[in-house]
């Protein structure tokens, strides 16, 4: 021992060489040579024969030999071996690992040397040890047999030294755990044992006292149990969680952590609630989100060269290579196990109550909640109306004079954003007839509704050029509006969006849908329009010479639009016909009318809060705006009709009136309803919701007069026609004339 101490000391050579670097180089060469000749193997034998088996690390001062052997153990590890051949330092660490740390622990190594090397005061080069361990574990044929003792040593030193490691060192530590944990054997006692971690007073540093077996060596079963216990201590768990929770954590960190957790659950049968590491990760949203992102981003290259997500292959049950399986299965298994603890368990009683009284209380609570929501909603709407219109004078607001024969032109000019920037105000309309004379009546709401209906009819009329009709008679924005009107075409769509209040037209679902969603949302919905073209044979494609472009011809305008770069030179074949159909549908339904839809939506948003309308889908919006598209129920109308001026439900004139109306066609009934209420469709919830209620007033006994209406009060002024034929002719003449108070 004395000779070893002398010849491995730099101080012996320094007086002779007079150069510290030369003395260091000579010492390195001597130590490297001794390590090559079994230095650590001999030191292992010497330790076990010279030191007592009951020696603890705390007893080292009383045993000088133990301190000397510890110095000789550490000395070769502190040199860089720059003067030796390449790989000399790696060889020294490998010899230390394989010949001293990896063999089955004796009492001396377990109780004295492992705690001593974990002591930060001795400056064990843990970072360099981890770096050399990467190659040692991967290349050693004894890795499986050496794993339990080596793993315990890494955990013991790492538990103390993790705080001093750099970012690179932490990654090496995590990589080492990932490589050694699968090599750890699973014993029968480990598979049956449950780690009791519920007590807050548990001492995590307490380690079971090992029992010597096989001539003083620690058994594999015991060291394996100690490894799992040490991996579950608070210090170890906090250190590992700190690697994941830091902002600079990379994808490699998450992948290695997922592999460690997967091994604990699958190989060692560890339950999530029983392991601190697993339980902490299960309720960490950032880790779960990043783990799911890794799973969805994993791809593999197919035979065609395309990259396909591995998750898609799993969902389809497609076979995967062993490499792909090893990549995604640990991550997916871990995510499923951890995420399931964030889900709330649902009991059968939550679907079927135990008692009828409980159901009644629930229904009462639901009814009250619905009433509260409804009342709150109407309060918000009323508050918005009050803030805009207020309680000002009757004639306060927007007053416009409109010529009936030029209703769209006058409205577009006088209700433009420049003239009336705030269209939420109350609007009152004064109409001029075809002769330029004032029409009778003061607008109390009815004339405005009639004006609005006629204005929208004119604006949405295909002859106006803003809209076209489909084969089903539905409307959609005209792609040629820009060619017909010019660059100001979007102003007209903006105007129509502002005016839209009660649409009495079967508007194409696409414009309603794109008003409340994005323009791209309607593409797949309406691809059925192009379905017949999917069955076209290859001969037809060749005959028509289709290419990836669209030609538009309107009046003297001719335009060619490429569906993709260079599309006019790409022929359509059976192989690419699906792509062609998608591109055509996308162009027709989105790109070609995008400006039209955006302008229309902006105009509507200028008057109505779109957030309110987004509570409904396009079908519900159609019903809310246009009313219920159902036949008019005369029994319901009779039930909620009022009479005045001497009329009653049993009056002969009223009986004749209802007999005549019952023989009307559905279109004539709608015209009558519009004549009286300015809306051709019944209210959504029936005529009981019509306000004011439908009323028939005595219009006098002058049989030459025509029936008239006050639409603001839903009032029909009906003269005393006692003849059924006269009643029918007068009613039809009045409702077909489209004149409001002008008939008075």
| pLDDT tens column, 272-281 | 888 888 888 8
- As a whole number, mean pLDDT of residues 319-335 equals 86
End position of a domain, from candidates 626, 641, 668: 626
Q: What is the pLDDT of residue 692?
A: 87
Q: Is the pLDDT assigned to residue 198 strictly greater than 60?
A: no
Q: For the domain that residue 682 is a member of, what is the CATH number?
A: 3.30.2410.10
369 bridge partner residues: none
Bigger pLDDT: 396 vs 269: 269
What's the chain's average pLDDT? 79
- For residues 678 and 722, membership in a common domain is answered with yes
Measured CA angle at 727 (ends 725, 728), to 5 deg: 65
Q: Is the pLDDT assigned to residue 522 strictly greater than 80?
A: no
Single pTM value for the model: 0.45
Measured CA angle at 496 (ends 422, 599), to 5 deg: 85
- For residues 589 and 521, membership in a common domain is answered with yes
- For residues 620 and 503, membership in a common domain is answered with yes
Q: What is the pLDDT of residue 669?
A: 92
**pLDDT category, 644, cuts 50, 70, 90?**
very high
- As a whole number, mean pLDDT of residues 60-70 equals 79
Q: What is the pLDDT of residue 352?
A: 59
- As a whole number, mean pLDDT of residues 404-423 equals 87
- For residues 537 and 593, membership in a common domain is answered with yes
Convert the pLDDT of each residue in 147-176 to its tens digit. 888 888 888 888 888 778 887 888 888 888
Cβ atoms of residues 99 and 91 within 8 Å: no
**pLDDT category, 696, cuts 50, 70, 90?**
very high
Of the ranges 349-353, 390-394, 602-606, 660-664, which is most confident? 660-664
End position of a domain, from candidates 626, 641, 670: 626
Bigger pLDDT: 617 vs 399: 399
| Domain-located, residue 696 | yes
Domain count, the chain: 3
Q: Is the pLDDT assigned to residue 382 strictly greater than 90?
A: no
Range of weakest confidence among 319-323, 340-344, 718-722: 340-344
- For residues 618 and 633, membership in a common domain is answered with no
Range of weakest confidence among 200-209, 294-303, 442-451: 200-209
Q: Is the pLDDT assigned to residue 4 strictly greater than 90?
A: no
Q: Is the pLDDT assigned to residue 593 strictly greater than 60?
A: yes
- As a whole number, mean pLDDT of residues 206-234 equals 70
| Domain-located, residue 702 | yes
- As a whole number, mean pLDDT of residues 699-709 equals 89
Distance CA 467, CA 474 (A): 10
- For residues 616 and 507, membership in a common domain is answered with yes
- As a whole number, mean pLDDT of residues 185-201 equals 50
56 bridge partner residues: none
| Domain-located, residue 549 | yes
**pLDDT category, 87, cuts 50, 70, 90?**
confident
Domain membership of residue 692 as a residue range = 628-743
CA-nearest of 142, 148, 24, 114 to 76 is 24
Of the chain, the end-to-end C-alpha distance in Å amounts to 130
The three-class DSSP label of residue 579 is: helix
Q: What is the pLDDT of residue 349?
A: 62
Specify burial of residue 420 (Cβ count, 10 A radius: 0-12, 13-18, 19+).
Answer: middle
- For residues 559 and 634, membership in a common domain is answered with no
Distance CA 115, CA 711 (A): 97
| Domain-located, residue 481 | no
Q: What is the pLDDT of residue 672?
A: 92
End position of a domain, from candidates 590, 606, 626: 626
SS (H, E, C) 172-188: HHHHHHHHHHHHCCCCH
Q: What is the pLDDT of residue 215?
A: 54
- For residues 573 and 686, membership in a common domain is answered with no
Bigger pLDDT: 436 vs 568: 568
- For residues 604 and 665, membership in a common domain is answered with no
| Domain-located, residue 435 | no
| Domain-located, residue 335 | yes
Cβ atoms of residues 129 and 93 within 8 Å: yes
Range of weakest confidence among 392-396, 677-681, 733-737: 392-396
- As a whole number, mean pLDDT of residues 343-351 equals 64
- For residues 616 and 649, membership in a common domain is answered with no
Q: Is the pLDDT assigned to residue 652 strictly greater than 90?
A: yes
**Percent of the chain predicted with pLDDT > 90:** 8
Specify burial of residue 580 (Cβ count, 10 A radius: 0-12, 13-18, 19+).
Answer: buried
Cβ atoms of residues 271 and 234 within 8 Å: no
- For residues 614 and 504, membership in a common domain is answered with yes
Q: Per residue in 512-524, is it b (16+ CB within 10 Å) or e — as a string?
A: bbbbbeebeebbe
Q: Is the pLDDT assigned to residue 534 strictly greater than 70?
A: no
Q: What is the pLDDT of residue 171?
A: 84
Q: Of the listed 519, 597, 679, 712, which one is catalytic?
A: 712
Long-range interactions of 730-736: CB distance < 8 A, separation 24+: 730/706, 731/657, 731/660, 731/661, 731/672, 731/707, 732/668, 733/706, 734/675, 734/706, 734/707, 734/708, 735/668, 735/671, 735/672, 735/674, 735/675, 736/671
Q: What is the pLDDT of residue 604?
A: 84
Convert the pLDDT of each residue in 423-463 to its tens digit. 777 788 888 887 878 776 666 666 777 788 788 888 888 88
| Domain-located, residue 2 | no
| Domain-located, residue 43 | no
Cβ atoms of residues 146 and 100 within 8 Å: no
Q: For the domain that residue 531 is a member of, what is the CATH number?
A: 3.30.2160.10
- For residues 665 and 708, membership in a common domain is answered with yes
- As a whole number, mean pLDDT of residues 669-682 equals 86
- As a whole number, mean pLDDT of residues 542-560 equals 75
Q: What is the pLDDT of residue 436?
A: 78
Q: What is the pLDDT of residue 674?
A: 87
Q: Is 712 a catalytic residue?
A: yes
- As a whole number, mean pLDDT of residues 613-639 equals 77
**pLDDT category, 539, cuts 50, 70, 90?**
low
**pLDDT category, 659, cuts 50, 70, 90?**
very high
Convert the pLDDT of each residue in 25-51 to its tens digit. 888 888 888 888 888 898 888 888 888
Distance CA 576, CA 548 (A): 10
DSSP string, 417-449: TTT-S-TTS-EEEEEE-TTSPBPSS--SSHHHH
């Amino acid at each position: 021992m004395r000779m070893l101490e002398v010849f491995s000391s730099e101080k012996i050579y320094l007086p002779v060489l007079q150069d510290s670097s030369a003395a260091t180089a000579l010492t390195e060469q001597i130590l490297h040579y001794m390590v090559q000749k079994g230095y650590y193997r001999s030191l292992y034998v010497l330790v076990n024969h010279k030191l007592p088996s009951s020696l603890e690390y705390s007893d080292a001062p009383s045993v000088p030999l133990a301190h000397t052997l510890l110095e000789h153990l550490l000395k070769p590890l502190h040199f860089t071996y720059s003067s030796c051949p390449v790989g000399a330092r790696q060889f020294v660490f490998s010899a230390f690992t394989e010949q001293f740390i990896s063999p089955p622990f004796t009492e001396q190594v377990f109780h004295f040397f492992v705690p001593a090397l974990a002591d930060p005061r001795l400056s064990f080069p843990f970072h360099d040890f981890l770096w050399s361990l990467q190659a040692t574990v991967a290349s050693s044929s004894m890795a499986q047999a050496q794993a339990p003792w080596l793993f315990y040593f890494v955990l013991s030193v790492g538990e103390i030294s993790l705080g001093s490691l750099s970012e690179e060192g932490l990654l090496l530590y995590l990589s080492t755990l990932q490589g050694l944990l699968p090599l750890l054997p699973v014993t029968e006692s480990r598979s049956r044992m449950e780690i009791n971690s519920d007590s807050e007073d548990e001492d995590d540093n307490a380690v079971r006292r090992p029992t010597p077996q096989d001539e003083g060596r620690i058994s594999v079963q015991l060291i394996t149990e100690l490894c799992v216990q040490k991996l579950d201590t608070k210090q170890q768990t906090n250190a590992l969680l700190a690697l994941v929770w830091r902002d600079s954590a990379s994808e490699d960190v998450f992948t290695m952590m997922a592999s460690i957790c997967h091994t604990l659950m699958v190989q060692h049968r560890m339950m999530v609630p029983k392991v601190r590491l697993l339980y902490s990760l299960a309720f960490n949203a950032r880790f779960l989100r990043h783990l799911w992102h890794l799973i969805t981003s994993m791809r593999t290259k197919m035979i065609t060269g395309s990259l396909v997500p591995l998750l898609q292959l799993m969902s389809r049950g497609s076979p995967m290579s062993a490499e792909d399986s090893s990549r995604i299965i640990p991550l997916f298994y871990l995510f499923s196990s951890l995420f399931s603890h964030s889900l709330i368990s649902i009991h059968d009683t939550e679907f079927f109550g135990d008692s009828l009284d409980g159901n009644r209380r629930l229904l009462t609570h639901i009814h009250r909640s619905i009433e509260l929501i409804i009342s709150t909603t109407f309060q918000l709407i009323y508050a918005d109306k009050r803030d805009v219109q207020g309680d000002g004078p009757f004639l306060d607001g927007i007053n416009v004079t409109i010529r009936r024969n030029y209703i769209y032109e006058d409205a577009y000019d006088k209700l433009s954003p420049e003239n009336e920037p705030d269209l939420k105000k109350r609007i009152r309309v004064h109409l001029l007839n075809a002769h330029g004379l004032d029409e009778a009546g003061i607008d109390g709401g009815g004339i405005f509704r009639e004006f609005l209906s006629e204005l929208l009819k004119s604006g949405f009329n295909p002859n106006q050029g803003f809209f076209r009709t489909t084969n089903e008679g539905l409307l959609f924005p005209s792609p040629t509006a820009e060619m017909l009107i010019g660059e100001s075409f979007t102003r007209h769509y903006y105007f129509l969006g502002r005016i839209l209040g009660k649409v009495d037209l079967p508007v194409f679902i696409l414009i309603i849908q794109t008003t409340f969603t994005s323009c791209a949302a309607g593409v797949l919905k309406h691809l059925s329009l192009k379905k017949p073209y999917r069955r076209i044979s290859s001969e037809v494609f060749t005959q028509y010479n289709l290419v990836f472009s669209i030609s538009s011809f309107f009046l003297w305008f001719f335009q060619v639009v490429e569906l993709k770069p260079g599309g006019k030179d790409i022929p359509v074949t059976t192989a690419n016909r699906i792509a062609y159909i998608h591109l055509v549908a996308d162009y027709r339904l989105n790109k070609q009318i995008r400006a039209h839809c955006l302008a229309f939506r902006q105009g509507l948003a200028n008057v109505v809060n779109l957030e309110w309308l987004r509570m409904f889908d396009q079908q519900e919006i159609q019903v809310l705006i246009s009313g219920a598209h159902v036949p008019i129920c005369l029994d319901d109308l009779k039930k909620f009709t009022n009479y005045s001026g001497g009329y009653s439900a049993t009056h002969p004139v009223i009986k004749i009136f209802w007999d005549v109306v019952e023989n009307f066609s559905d279109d004539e009934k709608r015209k009558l309803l519009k004549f009286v209420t300015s809306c051709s469709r019944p209210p959504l919830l029936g005529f009981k919701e019509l306000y004011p209620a439908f009323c028939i007033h005595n219009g006098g006994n002058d049989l030459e007069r025509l029936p008239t209406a006050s639409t603001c009060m839903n009032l029909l002024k009906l003269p005393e026609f006692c003849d059924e034929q006269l009643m029918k002719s007068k009613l039809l003449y009045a409702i077909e004339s489209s004149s409001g108070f002008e008939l008075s």
